[in-house]
Amino acid sequence: MSRSSVKQIEEDEQIIIQELMKDSRQSPQEIAEHCRFSRQKVWRIMNKLEENNKVWGYTAVVDDDNVGRKTYFALLKAKAPFHDKIDLIIKNIKDQKKGLETKHNIYLLGSYYLNGVYDWLVIFSAENISHAKRYQGAAQKEYGEFLERIDLMESVFPLIKFGKINPNIEQLKEFAIE
């Protein structure tokens, strides 16, 4: 394959990724129309993106208030070294259906290994702060020997979530302090 062909394939992939990030519910036909590609080309590229783990999956952006939940952020600071806990962390993430999340009615929305003051960011949804704190306590118990601290924050109002602007963005004005 020529260098220009590889470059063109990569450019086409990026165009489709951008469309999926705008709205992952679009059909291949809709994406094809927006990108001026054939439906078959879009389908082929989408399948390749999934096979190569460039696209991990598709998700819904949920309005927490309308479903009776809140989003929480747990910032974790590890004690060095923690390499002996990595296998446990990976296992627990893979087995999340059996883990702390299920026991505490938690939906794990994201987990990120960070560079900076904190080492991990865990984003999760819970019914209320009480459930979030129980989950925090369970995580402290499970991983406490390698954690220096866990700081818990509650989302008050999402402006943008997974690239989507909150349709109720005007409500932000209610939080403005005069």
Domain ranges of the chain: 3-51, 64-161
Q: Which of 32-41, 69-78, 96-105 has the lowest mean pLDDT?
A: 96-105
The CATH architecture to which 3-51 belongs is Orthogonal Bundle (1.10)
Q: How many residues in the chain?
A: 178
Tell me: pLDDT of 3 over 60: no
**Where would I find the beta strands (DSSP E) of the chain?**
70-78, 107-113, 120-126, 147-154, 160-161, 164-165
Q: Please, which pLDDT band fits residue 91 given cuts at 50, 70 and 90?
A: confident
Residue at token pair 């992952």: 24
Tally helices (H) and strands (E) across the chain: 6, 6
When comparing pLDDT for 177 and 40, which is higher? Answer: 40
Token reading at 26 = 């679009």
Cα–Cα distance between 18 and 153 in angstroms, integer? 30
Residues 6+ positions from 106 with CB-CB distance below 8 Å: 100, 124, 125, 126, 131, 132, 135
The average pLDDT across 125-152 equals 91
Give the mean pLDDT of 90-99. Answer: 70
The two tokens of residue 36 are 């001026």
Confidence at 163, pLDDT banded by 50, 70, 90? confident
Candidates 82, 75, 10; CA nearest to 49 is 10
- The rounded mean pLDDT for the chain is 88
Give pLDDT, residue 92: 76
Residues 92/99, Cβ–Cβ less than 8 Å: yes
In this prediction, residue 99 has a pLDDT band, given cuts at 50, 70 and 90, of low
Question: Which tokens sit at 85?
Answer: 């806990």
One of 2.30.29.30, 3.30.70.100, 3.20.20.60, 3.40.50.300 is the CATH number of 64-161, namely: 3.30.70.100
- For position 149, what pLDDT does the model report? 92
Residue 75: other Cβ atoms inside 10 A: 17
**Does 82 or 11 have the greater pLDDT score?**
11
**142, pLDDT greater than 90:** no
Please return the burial class of 145, using the count of CB atoms within 10 Å of its CB with bins 0-12, 13-18 and 19+. Answer: exposed
What pLDDT does 37 receive? 95
Read off the pLDDT of residues 54-88 as tens digits, 9 standing for 90 and up.
Answer: 999 888 889 998 999 999 999 999 887 667 777 87
